[in-house]
Amino acid sequence: MTFGNRTVSVFAGAAILLMVTSTQAHHEIAAKFDPTKPQTITGVVTLLDWRDPHAHIFINVKGPCGSAAGRTGRAGAAAAPAAARGGSCVENWAAELDSPIALSQSGWTKDTLKPGDTVTVKGWAARNGSRQVSGNTVTTKDGKTIFTVNLAPPPLPSPPRPTPRWTDNKPRLGPVPPGTQGYWAYPSVTVLAEAGSNVTMDGDGLLKNIADAPKVAPMQPWALQLYKDRQTRFLRDDPQFLYCKPPGGPRQFQQPEGVQFVEDKERQRVFVLIGGGNNNYRIIYTDGRAQKGSVRGDDDNPLYYGRSVGKWDGDTFVVDTTGFNEDFWFTNGGLPHTDKLRLIEKFTRTNLDSMKYEVTIDDLGAYTRPWSTSWTMRWVADKDMPRHYCQDNRP
- Per DSSP, the residues of 362-384 read E-TTTBSS-EEEEEEEEEEETSP
Average pLDDT score over residue span 335-361: 97
pLDDT tens digits for range 217-228: 999 999 999 999
Q: Tell me how far apart the alpha carbons of residues 279 and 256 are, in angstroms, rounded to a whole number.
A: 12
Alpha-helix residue ranges (DSSP H) falling in 180-299: 213-216, 221-232, 239-243
Q: Supply the pLDDT for residue 25.
A: 41
- Per DSSP, the residues of 101-140 read HHHHHTT--TTSS-TT-EEEEEEEEETT-SSEEE-SEEEE
Average pLDDT score over residue span 194-209: 94
Alpha-helix residue ranges (DSSP H) falling in the chain: 29-32, 100-105, 213-216, 221-232, 239-243
Q: Supply the pLDDT for residue 94.
A: 96
Q: Tell me how far apart the alpha carbons of residues 206 and 7 are, in angstroms, rounded to a whole number.
A: 9
pLDDT tens digits for range 12-33: 343 333 333 334 345 788 899 9
Confidence of residue 71 (pLDDT cuts 50, 70, 90): very low
**How many Å is the Cα radius of gyration of the chain?**
23
pLDDT at 392 over 80: no
Which phi and psi angles does 61 have, rounded to 5°?
A: -115, 130
Range with the poorest average pLDDT among 60-69, 219-228, 340-349, 376-385: 60-69
Q: What percent of the chain has pLDDT over 90?
A: 70
Q: Supply the pLDDT for residue 127.
A: 94
| HSE-up (13 A, CA, CB side) for residue 21 | 16
Q: Supply the pLDDT for residue 279.
A: 80
Fold of the CATH domain 31-146: OB fold (Dihydrolipoamide Acetyltransferase, E2P) (2.40.50)
Confidence of residue 88 (pLDDT cuts 50, 70, 90): confident
Q: Supply the pLDDT for residue 14.
A: 38
Q: What percent of the chain has pLDDT over 70?
A: 83
Average pLDDT score over residue span 285-311: 78
Q: Tell me how far apart the alpha carbons of residues 191 and 364 are, in angstroms, rounded to a whole number.
A: 21
pLDDT at 361 over 80: yes
Q: Tell me how far apart the alpha carbons of residues 83 and 204 are, in angstroms, rounded to a whole number.
A: 39
Average pLDDT score over residue span 117-121: 97
- Per DSSP, the residues of 13-40 read TEEEEEE-S----SS-HHHHEEEEEEEE
Confidence of residue 290 (pLDDT cuts 50, 70, 90): confident
For residue 290, CA distances in Å to 8, 272, 286 come to 38, 20, 10
pLDDT at 34 over 60: yes
Average pLDDT score over residue span 352-372: 98
pTM of the predicted model as reported, rounded to 2 decimal places: 0.85
Average pLDDT score over residue span 345-357: 97
Most confident among 12-21, 61-70, 235-244, 294-303 (mean pLDDT): 235-244
Mean pLDDT across the chain: 86
**What are the extents of the domains in the chain?**
31-146, 182-392
pLDDT tens digits for range 222-260: 999 999 999 999 999 999 888 889 999 999 999 999 999
pLDDT tens digits for range 126-149: 999 999 999 999 999 999 999 999
Helix count and strand count (H, E) for the chain? 5, 20
CB atoms near residue 123 (< 10 Å): 27
Residue 374 amino acid letter: S
Q: Tell me how far apart the alpha carbons of residues 227 and 382 are, in angstroms, rounded to a whole number.
A: 40
